[in-house]
């Protein structure tokens, strides 16, 4: 007498079956805990999750985190230290997130999702040496300039308000540029202030740059 072996379900079929079983457990009414207890437990769990999420978000929004990889620490951060945004007479220091991360929560989440692509660059060592960084410098700068151009230099304006400028204390050249371009909305901060915190790449092929 011979028996016929039943074909074993495929991996994906077994995975779907397992997922459906888990879902069934989750949606099945509890016979042990009351509805009020489950709602309260869900509320408390939500608070813990939200607190943990925001804590992790803020930890990734610090200068220490930004400079934890040597690509940033030995390149752009060292350049920042030589500028007025890092060391000045007033003692007010601009940190990496102040200029590169929006302050509003929804915009911040969007920016964090965009920045997650940098993990790919870290894994595959795209700019892990000074030479590689310099080779990609223009491309990296253009991405950031385009982002700041699109949001009307939002991060700059968080500290530098056109309405609060006392142009009588500015140089004649700055007064002319601000009145002609900034106050009229023809240009935004990043159009004229590229390289204010980091060294510029080769600008010969950048449109409109003189």
- pLDDT (tens digit per residue) in 64-110: 999 999 999 999 999 999 999 999 998 999 999 999 988 888 888 88
pTM of the shown model: 0.73
Cβ atoms of 85 and 93 closer than 8 Å: yes
Give every residue of the chain whose pLDDT is below 70, as ranges: 1-8, 25-27, 29-31, 33-35, 210
pLDDT at 18: 83
What pLDDT is recorded for position 7? 67
pLDDT number for residue 168: 92
Tokens (6 digits) for 148: 């700041």
Give the pLDDT confidence score for residue 114 in this predicted structure.
85
129's tokens: 């040496």
Q: What is the pLDDT of residue 4?
A: 58
pLDDT of the residue at 39: 78
**pLDDT for res 8:** 67
Q: What would the 3-class secondary structure string for 19-38 be?
A: HHHHHHHHHCCCCCCCHHHH
Q: What angle do CA 62, 66, 71 make, to 5 degrees?
A: 170
């Amino acid at each position: 007498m011979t028996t016929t072996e039943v074909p074993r379900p495929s991996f994906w079929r077994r995975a779907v079956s397992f997922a459906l079983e888990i879902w069934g457990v989750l949606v099945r009414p509890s016979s042990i805990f009351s509805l009020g207890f489950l709602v309260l437990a869900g509320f408390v769990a939500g608070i813990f999750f939200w607190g943990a999420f925001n804590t992790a978000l803020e930890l990734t929004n610090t200068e220490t985190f930004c400079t934890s990889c040597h690509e940033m620490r030995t390149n752009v951060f060292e350049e920042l230290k030589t500028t007025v945004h890092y060391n000045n007479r007033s003692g007010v220091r601009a940190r990496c997130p102040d200029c590169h991360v929006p302050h509003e929560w929804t915009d911040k989440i969007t920016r964090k999702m965009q920045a997650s692509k940098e993990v790919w660059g870290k894994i595959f060592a795209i700019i892990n040496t000074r030479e590689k960084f310099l080779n990609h410098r223009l491309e990296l700068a253009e991405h950031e300039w385009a982002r700041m151009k699109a949001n009307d230099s939002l991060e700059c304006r968080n500290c530098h308000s056109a309405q609060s400028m006392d142009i009588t204390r500015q140089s004649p050249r700055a007064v002319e540029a601000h009145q002609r371009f900034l106050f009229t909305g023809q240009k935004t901060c990043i159009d004229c202030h590229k390289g204010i915190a980091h060294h510029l790449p080769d600008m010969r092929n950048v449109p409109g740059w003189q």
